[in-house]
Amino acid sequence: MKRKRIVIKIGSSSLTEEDGTLSPVKMAAFCHAIAGLRQKGHELLIVSSGAVAAGFRDIGYAARPTTVRARQAAAAAGQALLMQHYRFQLQHYRIIPAQLLVTRSDFSEEKHFQNLHAAIEELLSRKILPIINENDSTAVDELTFGDNDMLSALVGGALHADLLMLLTDADGVYSADPREDPEAVKYKELHTIPEELLQAPSRSTLGTGGIGTKLLASRAAADTGVEAYIGTLSSTEDLLQACEGSGSGTYIRTQSGRVMRTRRQWIAYHASASGVLFIDDGAKEAVLNRGASLLTVGISKTEGTFFRGDIVDVYAGAHKIGRGRVLVDHTELSGAIVESSIAVHRDEWVSLN
């Protein structure tokens, strides 16, 4: 079996009891499964939910809190408890875990993104197990990923993983909710994701994501060349079979051979745009179909204040067709352009569907 780099995201419902407390039994089973994959030579990164669910009871809440400040407090207490369990369980297999807490800014700011990437690569080179979570204790709405499903997809893309496993209490993706529709069919694999499936509601009261969020994350992963798997964990064999392509859940396939380089991923999915360029039909044809750089003569209008090195969105009419790093300031494009020069080099351009 080919050795793979695998990102495993495990949700709160897979690590906690029905009352919301962390389950030592489930934690032990998950860590045993992790050890099984490591013994096969696979390189693993874990994106683990469970901090809020693990911590809210310890600080006196009767149920999972809903306010931002209460969730932040519960996460602060729960992170320590979560990592304590991971370290205790993994020591039986001589696996050392390392915790990384991240926010959106660690991805949106290029230097932070590069540093995060380098830190994870260093941990992997030393056979350390990265356990990644959103920093819920300090993140606010504009700095969040929405849920750990999307975080795991972004991590998988940035680290060029071979497979993203989204473990949940659902055993795959169905055409309808099987609890309500006895004729619902489970998909073995999906090459495209029907829009109606993205509206699937959450199945759990302990987590933030449902099947819809997992499909959105899977689509983001597929865009960067990472295949995804959505399924449940009941034994070590589940993960081994999923890794081999014979899992009982659902696979979301990618376009064969499609891999997006890390720098382009940052431009496409993480960077904040400082402005907008509107281009004519000739420029659109050149950048989309001929692989050419975007020239200044093809720009018909600009919006925003941007400078050399900033990221801009590029529109053709009303449709955003891509984004890239500009080589000119907004002031250079404010008047009539006499001499043509490169506005966005092809190596710093990303086409968007």
Structure tokens at 201: 């509601």
Nearest CA among 349, 352, 353 for reference residue 294? 349
On whether the CB atoms of residues 190 and 173 are closer than 8 A, the answer is yes
Alpha helices in the chain, H assignment, sequence order: 24-39, 51-55, 68-90, 105-108, 110-125, 148-158, 211-223, 236-244, 262-265, 281-289
Q: Which residues are annotated as a binding site for ATP?
A: 9, 168-169, 208-214
On whether the CB atoms of residues 281 and 288 are closer than 8 A, the answer is no
| Residue 18, φ and ψ in degrees, nearest 5 | -65, -25
Q: Which residues are annotated as a binding site for substrate?
A: 49, 136, 148
HSE-up (13 A, CA, CB side) for residue 89: 20
Cα of first residue to Cα of last residue in the chain, in angstroms, is: 34
On whether the CB atoms of residues 302 and 286 are closer than 8 A, the answer is no
Structure tokens at 351: 């086409």
- 102 bridge partner residues: 134
Q: Which residues are annotated as a binding site?
A: 9, 49, 136, 148, 168-169, 208-214
